[in-house]
Every structure is written in C-alpha cells, then in structure tokens.
Structure 1
C-alpha cells in the first residue's frame, strides 16, 4: 500500500476524495515549479526536513550489505532516517543513513532540529516486549553530538499510552513545539497542538483551534514566520491529503489550499520551505512517481499574498442614538450562510475578521427591536478596516407568553415599598406617549413579585405598586377608563423559583416584573 505514513505512524482509515470547492482567497497562493528529486527510490521516501545545509528524510530503502527487518504491516522494511547534502538545484546528494544509534529497529521518522542543531525532536514507535503496540507513536527529544550522533533520548512528558503524538516542529527560538495528536481536546480525528517550553519544562498541550484544525485529519505542521503550512484530508481538496497555508494565529476564517502543482489527486504532505531561497520540498504518492512515496523539490516563483481585512462597528438605538449592548451581530456570506454570531459589548461595539474580495451581509437583532442588515464588499487591499454604524429601532409592542404588551422596561420600586424609583420615570413617560399616540388603546397594568417573603405580604405589596403606577399615569392626563391594573404577588411565576426552592438572585428577578398588557389597540 502506498503512502506509508498512513499505515505506520497514525493507522489511518480510508480517505474520501471530495470535489474542489471554489472560493475567493484571503491568502493568494504562490506559483510553484516542482520536480521529483533524482535520489528517490522505488521504496518510500518522504518527510524531509532541513538540518542546516543538509536534508533529513525517512525511507524504507535497503541499506547496502545489511538485511533490513521487515514490518508485517506492509512487508516493507521499517522506516529509517537518511541524510544528504542540499544542492542549489534542489537535488540531494551523498545520501547515507544516520548512525545506528539514531536509527532503531523500528520506525523512525519526522524530525525537527533546533536552530543551533544541538537538539532534535523526532517521531518513533514505543515498543513493549519487542512488539509495536496500538497507539504507540510518540515524540522524543535528543541531544545532537559533535559527530551527528543522538544522545540523551527522552520520552516527552505529554506523550500518553492512550494517544498518538508525532510530526514535531520546533520553533526558531526553541520555546514552542508543534505536533499532531489525537489526544484529549482534539476537534477532529488528528489535530495540530503546541506545547510551550520554558527552562526545560513542558507546558500543557494547546489545540490550534477550529480555524486551523478541522473534523478530519491534520498532519506535518511547518512554521514560516507568521504562516503555518500543514496537510489535511478535509473536504474541498484535490484528492487525499492536500497542503494548506494560513496565519499561525488562527485569525483567518479558513486555510487556503496551495493548489496545483503542489497538490494532486494523491496524498501530499510534509511541506517545508527556505523562505530566503524560496525553495523547498514536499512528499507525495501521486501517479508518475518513482516509488511508493517520493520527495519533490519546488521553487516558489511568486510570493504569498496575505489579504486580511476586518469590520468593526457599533449598534445604536435609532431614536436615542445610545449604544446597545447584547445585540446579536451575525456575519453572513453571499450564499446566506451565517459564519459567526457575536454579542455587542457594553459600548455597543463589535468586530469581525474578513476574507478579501468577498461579499458579506452584517445582520443585527435584539429582543424588542426591529432587526437590520448592511451589505459589505471587501477588496483585495490587505489590512483594510471597514467601519459600520448600525441603527435599530425599538418596537412599540412585543408579544411575550402569548400576550401583546408595551415594549417598555419593568418599573422599579423601592425595596418592600410602592414608591416608584426615579430611574423608571422615563419608562412611564414612554407609556404615556404611546397611550397618546394610540388614543383608542386600553391597557392593563400587572405587578408581580418573586417568592421571597410571605405570600400575603407579596400580594399586598404588588397591589399597592399597581395602584401607585396607575395613579401616576392618570395624573399625566390619561383617561382613567383607558387603564386598569392589579397586583398578582407571586401567583404567576415564570420559573420554578417558588417557596422553598433555592434560586439565584438573577432567577428571582425574572419573576419580579411589571407588564403593560394591550387590551385594545384600535
């Protein structure tokens, strides 16, 4: 079976081929020219990584004069690491195995060296009783000696028997290791994680998140500045595993497929690039290759263009011009799909990151208000920030619990009294204005309490509050025939916070309310 990685390192399941999905790119993929390196064999050669001016990769090729142990999984030799000299034309020469203290009797693959070449992180099998066990792929660290030998091999502390971990990439400063695992916290089948390193201690694994990882498999991360390259078999690719690029901070909504000729109908993985020379390597089992898996070299002919835009804005009351908090703002694509929904802050503000050269709709909704939308068209200008002021109009009437009522805030009273608080005078003014706007409207005022306190006292208190409120409105010139009212105490609770039930204060406040029910409007 081709693409040995699928069998050996992560026991992959079947790969589905999906149709290409068309989309505008917020990262404009570069153009590449590629070729298969002459050093490929009829065996599996893949997983290249830089080691200074040398290239390290994995292979099942036979060693000269040495009988190779064969893995029963595919009747091919176990993977070993090889090293060769890099040439300016992308070829790799003078290839030889790493020393025997580097290559074990089992699978060894996917390495990453620190910038000073003094330490190496690599993927290998964890053995028990000379047998490879399930979930045996682990990450290891070693010290690189003066002659290239690896010493002081240590099993990294975040490995676990119940999960695989592999495909390491160590950051340039050596303070963060990226890797692939199916450990707890995985969003899909296999995700990319990172662990911070400080003074020899390893932190807790962190998932790179849903804008990089998918419900499928992600493999072979490679970091270049603020970009991350990786492989995935997510829907929308050209075949099996495709190579993607996105911003490392996850700020872009989705990664961009590098397209042809980097990606093919086969499996394409292990992308690495020297950003100064714009030259690099990747591995593929595409048709036309020399072996099961081959290493390809490429030259990047154009630069990757990142186009990252944003929209920020504020939602306000159309009449008062005051900012509205907790309004729901949704970002919708040209197909009507809601991409994200957030709530406005206390100052009414919101923010979204955007792809370039796309059409969006920003939709606003809030209880008690008429919603609104605003179209938004992004350009190809990187870093452009759109600004929106979205005005929504408060409704005069709403329906709650099957009853039409005035859309006004609940009247506040002094504690255990019927005195109306000054903060509610504006609300009562709105009630009066609505009654004058609709001269035939008749309303019924209802005052409710929560269950705290004796039932009789609550009923009496709510009745006194109803009388106080109705009296205030009549004193503003409203015909007494147009308003009725009553206090209901705790007889009409909206939740289960009745006598003897322990509830939070916020739950009790739901029941402590007033309502202006519309009896007649016309």
Structure 2
C-alpha cells in the first residue's frame, strides 16, 4: 500500500509555504552567520566582551573556525586580556587561518602566559616567514628582549608582596595612591552600568582607610563624590596642593557616541566638596591622555599620551606648572624611556624617582614596572613583575607601597598588592665568560666573536642563549645555590662545556657593603678542533690489579666521555686500552682488550649507541715512553685513550 498526502486547498498551501519560509528565516537568523555578523558589529563598536559571546556561539556550527577563533583572540587582546587570547590564536593557526599578525600576537600571548621558550620559538618562526615590515620589527624587538630575560629572572628579590584580599573583589582594583590616612584606588566594582569593552563595570575612584595589616585593609570603602560620573570611566587620581587638587582620567563610554578618548580632568576641594571637574588644556583632542602623576612638590605633572610625534603607542610626557597654575608645553621624556610599544601608569616616588609601566621595554610579559635610574629604565624584577600586567606602583616611602597586577592567582581582573622592601641585603650572581677556539697545531687559542653560548640548568635543559661580543665575551645572570652548564657548539669542533655553580658562594650579610650586591664568576669555554685518528688520553682511569672491572673512580671519568659523545652526536670513536711492558705480551694484549671492552660496555649502559664506539686493546704495542724505568713512566704507558674515527657531516 502506498501512503499519499491529502491534497490541501490552494489558500492552505500558500499559508503552509509562508510558514516554511518564516521558519527558514528564523532558523537562519540563529545560525553562525548571524552570530558572526552580530559579533562583528559589537567588535567594531569596541564592545569586545559582547563580540566574544557572539563569536563563541558561532564557533560550534561555523565552517570558518580558524577565522572566528582569530576574531575571539583579537577581542581578548584589544580588551587587554592577551594571555586569554593564546588558545584562540593557536586554534586560528591550527585551523588554517593565515593572517600574518596572528603568528606575532600568538607569540606575545605565550609570553604573557609565562611560556617563554614557546614564545621565543613562535616569534623566531614568525621572523623566518613574515613579510610585514612593521610586524617583523615588533617581533625582532621581542626576540632581542629575550636576551635580557635571564638577567631579570636572576635578579635577587628585593621586595615581599601581599595581595590585599580583603579589599580586592572579582572586579578590578588598581592605581593606588596614598593620601593622608587613605588608600585611593580605581575600581570597576559595584552594581552600575556594564562597560561593553570587557564585561566589567565602569571605573570609579574609591577610598578606604589604611591599616597596619594589609590582610585587614578593605573596610568602609567609599566612592569619591562629585568626581565619579555614571557611564564614564573615572580613574587614576593623583593629588597636589596638600590633597586639595586632584587630576584624574575620564572618558570612554564604550559606544560610538560621546567621548571616545580618555582625557585629563582637574578638580579642587573647596567648601568641603570637590568642584566640577574641568578638562585640562594639555589634552590633545585627537589622542588618549591618561595616567597622571604629580611630582612631590606639585610643580611637575607627568602623564601618558598617544598623541602624534611620540615614539610608539603611548609615551610618557611631562609639563611644568608655574606659580599661576599655567602649564608648559608637554615634553616627551625621550627614546631612552619611551619605546615603539606603550609606556603608561607613571608615578613619582617620595625622592622624585620616576616609575613607569611598559610593554616595550625588556620584561617578563605584558606590562612590567621600571624605575628611571640615570635617565634609563631599570626593570624592578620579581616579585613586583610577573608574566601578567604589573603597573600603577605607589611608594609610601622608600621601603613600602602598593602596586597593581592581573597576575595569576589574583582575586579579580586587576588586584592591588602591598610590597615591602626585604631588610636583608641582596646578592645578584652573574657569570662572565669568554669563548675561545683552538685549532690543531695552533700555538694559542683565539676568541670566537658573535657566536651563541647556551646556559643550561643542572638537568641539561636550556635556559637562555647569549651571543658573544666582538671580544668573545658573554654574561648570564644566575640564581643562588644553583648549578649550571655553559655550552657552545661549532661545526668541526668538539662542543665546549663547562659547569659553573653558585652553591656555597653567598657572602655573609655582614660582609655586604650595599643593599644590592653583585658576585661575578668567571668562566672560559674552549672549542677544540676535531682531528680524526688523533688519540686523546682519558686521565685517571684506574683498574684493580689483573682486573677489568670499572671502579667507581673510573666511572666518574668515563662519564665525561659519555658527555662528549652526547654533546657531539655526529662522531664515532675507538676506545683503546694500553698497558706497560711488565708482564708477557700476550697477557697484556688480553688484559687491555678486556679493559677496553669493559669501558665500552659501561659507556653503552649510559645510553650511547653501540654502533658509535669500538673497543680495542693494544697491550704494550704503543708505548708513550719506550724503555720506561720509573713508576711514573710506566704509569704514562698504562692509559685509556679515545680517538674519533668517523664524523657524520
């Protein structure tokens, strides 16, 4: 039996067809294309959090997953969440998305996660294939900055830091400033309007009473009345005139209407209230102006700006303030401080020292904090800095203060931290080395300029690479109580390796003359030319009388040959054993063969491929000292040697 549909009247058919069309449109409006379109619209309006939500909804059913992952990554990056962008850049690249900046920003995102080796490899890979000059310049600066990473990581910690857990929330708290007995800060806390850029609230300025205990700080938080405005960011307050003048940053509604850029405003405390904030004349209407900081005497105002004529994204500027309150022309602090990247969150210590946050200067990732010393930035090191954003530092005095960070294990987006200078005098360890090479037959060794040297940890894992200068010199920063290896390779030469340790080399505190001290170790690395069939004596390989067993003291020496074979995987060797003339020739030949084989078996047991090493006993047939008479001469004849018999090119 065949089933048939009952024929419907024509009017009913049209209604049915209309219903199908409507259903198709409704389903289409919920498809990936619609979500992508909505995400693009929000992205264009800089509402990155909403854009991310739409893009993620489109991911499940979209065919172009690589491109959508890239858009998600970009939304995270542009909303200052670079570390969170890393898996999406990776997914975009793995999904076949080939936009060039994805490769660069993926490397930067890995660095923001603290994955330094992976970041360096990614950036180097990009430099090999990239074609965009501007992006390649950024990558080249980042790769160059990695040469200082070991120095920064090796700096002895000068401060102890503590999260202000009672004050911090799941929102963001940053930009600390101490005024009288109050801690002033900026925060997205509260139940106000949501800022579409990152999904948090709009920024306002708050205050709370200082306490002796950082763990207890956070009670009775109050907003700054007459300063904060609903639906606008108000943040980064700095004070002068004994706290009666405040300059702060305001702006960015997160929409295409109204104020788009951030500008500096001023208000004065009169009649027990703050006056209506006024726009400062130093603002550039076409630029982002923020991060203000007064000098201790209130006569200089520093700030960060994206105005034209700078050296990068955001630069640090300063203006002088005369007796009548007029501002001088903004002055850029120059290329020693400002970079092609971003410098912002400037602050001034009680002694007039300038502190800045920068993502363009060599650091641990994202924004790092620096002090300006003799006109040059100096990284504050760990634990002030981390792979995340570290910024907005404020010194109460030369020993303690507060700063902001979005590092891992924080409570919210950005958190406030207290720091105190460690009372112990600090010691930073360094090794200063010289790389030489020695050719066969040469009378003296020569330095090797512009050549890589690798610092390895005790497990043989690479930590950092340095390049020798024109004089063959190189330097690495070291941790205390640690052992390292210095390694350098060159075709046609045995790999040079030397151990260096800081164990037992920490000076007593009473012998340290400075708050921060340096201990510098010296090292020489020598690349010896490989000469086939040249015998090389292994010292201190001893055997018990009439025995071929490997003694513990001999094993230590044979381990050095194992290391040579591991460092030089392209060579194959003959290991030979030799005796003196005492005993019969046949006996000595047999004994030397057994000893050579025993040594070879030990080396193979340490992981060296059997095909790379041959045992040969020569007995008394190759004497170094013929007609030996003294025990010392007999000892020279009793020896273990190796020679390179093959080199894989």
TM-score by length of 2: 0.42
Instruction: Select which of 268, 278, 282 maps to 2:403.
Output: 282
**TM superposition outliers: structure 1 runs of 4+ over 3 Å:** 1-8, 12-20, 22-25, 126-134, 302-305, 333-338
Equivalences for 1:148-187 in 2 at 5 Å?
149-187=273-311
Which whole-Å CA distance do the structure 2 matches of 1:5 and 1:204 have between them?
33
Q: Any gaps of 5 or more consecutive residues in structure 1? A: 306-332, 339-356, 358-379, 383-522
SS in structure 2 of the partner of residue 61 of structure 1: coil
| Aligned-CA RMSD value | 3.8
**Contact kept? 1:29, 1:257, Cα under 8 Å:** no
1:69 aligns with 2:193: yes
1:33 aligns with 2:174: no
**Corresponding position of 2:176:** 48
> Alpha-carbon deviation of 1:166?
0.3
Equivalences for 1:374-393 in 2 at 5 Å?
none
Change (3 A) 1:190 1:129: closer
Q: Deviations over 1:160-219 (max 9, x none)?
A: 221010000011211110000011231111111001111211111101111211111111
1:234 aligns with 2:356: no
Change (3 A) 1:82 1:226: closer
> Alpha-carbon deviation of 1:69?
1.3
Equivalences for 1:17-416 in 2 at 5 Å?
18=111, 19=116, 20=146, 21-22=148-149, 31-37=158-164, 38-62=166-190, 67-90=191-214, 91-105=216-230, 106-114=232-240, 116-125=242-251, 131-134=257-260, 136-145=261-270, 147=272, 149-198=273-322, 199-224=324-349, 225-234=351-360, 236-247=362-373, 250=375, 252=376, 255-275=377-397, 278-302=399-423, 335-336=468-469
Q: Deviations over 1:249-289 (max 9, x none)?
A: 62x4xx2211111111111111111125x211111111111
Which whole-Å CA distance do the structure 2 matches of 1:39 and 1:47 have between them?
13
Change (3 A) 1:101 1:29: farther
Which whole-Å CA distance do the structure 2 matches of 1:55 and 1:180 have between them?
22
Change (3 A) 1:35 1:158: same
TM-score by length of 1: 0.52
Which whole-Å CA distance do the structure 2 matches of 1:115 and 1:304 have between them?
37
**Contact kept? 1:126, 1:138, Cα under 8 Å:** no
Change (3 A) 1:6 1:258: farther
Which whole-Å CA distance do the structure 1 matches of 2:201 and 2:390 have between them?
22
> Alpha-carbon deviation of 1:137?
0.2
Q: Deviations over 1:54-86 (max 9, x none)?
A: 111111111xxxx41112222322111110011
Change (3 A) 1:99 1:179: closer
SS in structure 1 of the partner of residue 219 of structure 2: strand
> Alpha-carbon deviation of 1:153?
1.9
Which whole-Å CA distance do the structure 2 matches of 1:240 and 1:31 have between them?
21
> Alpha-carbon deviation of 1:92?
2.6
Which whole-Å CA distance do the structure 1 matches of 2:79 and 2:281 have between them?
25
Q: Which has the higher helix share?
A: 2
> Alpha-carbon deviation of 1:294?
0.8
Which whole-Å CA distance do the structure 1 matches of 2:265 and 2:387 have between them?
33
Which whole-Å CA distance do the structure 2 matches of 1:300 and 1:337 have between them?
39
Q: Any gaps of 5 or more consecutive residues in structure 2? A: 1-47, 50-74, 86-100, 117-145, 427-465, 472-476, 478-512, 516-649
**Contact kept? 2:149, 2:364, Cα under 8 Å:** no
**Contact kept? 1:30, 1:303, Cα under 8 Å:** no
> Alpha-carbon deviation of 1:335?
4.9
**Contact kept? 2:182, 2:208, Cα under 8 Å:** yes
> Alpha-carbon deviation of 1:304?
10
Which structure would you say has the larger RCO, counting Cα contacts within 8 Å and 6 or more residues apart?
1
**Contact kept? 1:82, 1:95, Cα under 8 Å:** no
Which whole-Å CA distance do the structure 2 matches of 1:158 and 1:304 have between them?
43
**Contact kept? 2:225, 2:274, Cα under 8 Å:** no
**Contact kept? 2:161, 2:420, Cα under 8 Å:** yes
Equivalences for 1:370-519 in 2 at 5 Å?
none
Which whole-Å CA distance do the structure 1 matches of 2:254 and 2:388 have between them?
34
> Alpha-carbon deviation of 1:43?
0.9
